[in-house]
Amino acid sequence: MALALFVGISAALMAGFPVAFTLAGVALVFAGIGALTGTFDPVFLEAFPNRVYGIMTNETLIAVPVFVFMGVMLERSRLADQLLRSLVQLMHGMRGGLGLAVVVVGAMMAASTGIVGATVVTMGLIALPTMLRRGYDPAVATGTICAAGTLGQIIPPSIVLVMLADVLSNAYQQAQMRVGNYAPETVSVGELFAGALVPGLLLVAFYLAYLFVLARVRPALMPTGVPEGEESPVSVGRLLLLISGPLLLIVAVLGSILKGVATPTEAAAVGAVGAILLALVSGHLTLEALKDVVFRTTRVTAMVFMILIGASLFSLVFRGFGGDEVIAGFLTTLPGGAVTAMVLVMLVMFLLGFVLDFIEIIFVVVPIVGPVLMAMGLDPLWLGIMIAVNLQTSFLTPPFGFALFYLRGACPESVPTLAIYRGVIPFIAIQLLTLVLLALWPALVTWLPNIVY
């Protein structure tokens, strides 16, 4: 029945039904069938109100809508547009300079918004026309934008890491109780942010190095020519002024969390106020813009929490059918132990990333496999960052990667879909290289959290 439940939910999702209602609805149908056939104890459902109340009173999750508000407000302030134009003007004589500028701005916006779709579409609308007009190969241009946009998965502060930290903390407590520790430790958002910092910067460095080398090995793909009318110089002072706003915002939010001065929710509130001030200074804060930001924030927040509630009901029913014991038994009996189990889970999550968004995977899959893997001795911080980088790779991979769909919607018709697919392949290789490095040297993840905490 547990396997049938999982298959039923997968089929309903493939048919295009809304994720939150699919998770809850299919789970309830199977719970009813199980109750009638004697394979499910309805007592499990009595825990559901407590779970919903726990979601409502979870202080960590309050940071999600505030971080979303900060990201949407920064998007409306058009800082990315101004910053990209200024960087392009500064590096107009440097081969590959526009591609490097896109990665830098994409990383900054990814850290500020933390929403993959918003970053990819925004960068596609802003940067892609400029890159094509300057003679960039469409594959290089689209691949760079997709890769830069998905950095929001891993570079803190990120709503992905906030949600992942909350789920990992619960999974880690379950794992410790499995092995007899009844005073379990937790995983904080700050620890996960610290663990993600080095891998995130490593990815940015790899992206920049690849584009720098490509510009010199195959210069025809990344010409330096500047179309007429775009030669206007930019002062270093103006560039520093544009960079200082988002940079100070990121440092204030991330620094206050890492230093322990503020909780993630309090730091997110500081970031939201900072984003409002930046929009006000840039002249793009109007009553109409504020209404739009609040409306979009409410839509995203409602989606996230409805999925979380649906996933809670699904996990209850799945557990009632003994699904968690089946998964635990399967993973713990694999030859090769924790290594084989980890590889298999990463592969499954990678494939699920083609059809499910990161929110569904975090709330549905991680609570099932996380306690088992951590009970086998895997570090929760390392596991969390591996999951985040793995999903980021999945979102880039043709033909189903979410980032590819987002960019396809923002691309002109003159850019073929095949060009987008070709463009992301080198960045997928970089992502896989990073995963291998993190697997071989877990200290890349755990070193900074151990120092800070």
Q: What is the pLDDT of residues 344-362, one digit of tens each?
A: 989 888 888 777 777 778 8
Q: What is the reported pTM?
A: 0.84
Q: Radius of gyration of the chain from Cα atoms?
A: 22
pLDDT in tens, the chain (453 residues): 888 888 888 788 777 777 788 888 888 999 999 989 888 888 888 888 988 898 888 887 888 888 888 878 877 777 767 777 777 677 666 777 888 888 888 787 766 665 666 677 777 877 888 888 878 888 998 999 888 888 878 888 777 888 888 888 888 888 887 777 776 777 888 889 889 999 999 999 999 999 999 988 888 887 765 554 555 566 667 677 777 777 788 788 888 888 878 888 888 888 889 888 888 887 788 888 899 989 988 988 888 888 888 888 888 888 888 887 888 888 888 888 888 899 998 988 888 877 777 777 888 888 888 888 888 888 899 999 999 899 888 888 887 777 787 788 777 888 888 888 898 999 999 999 999 999 999 999 999 988 887
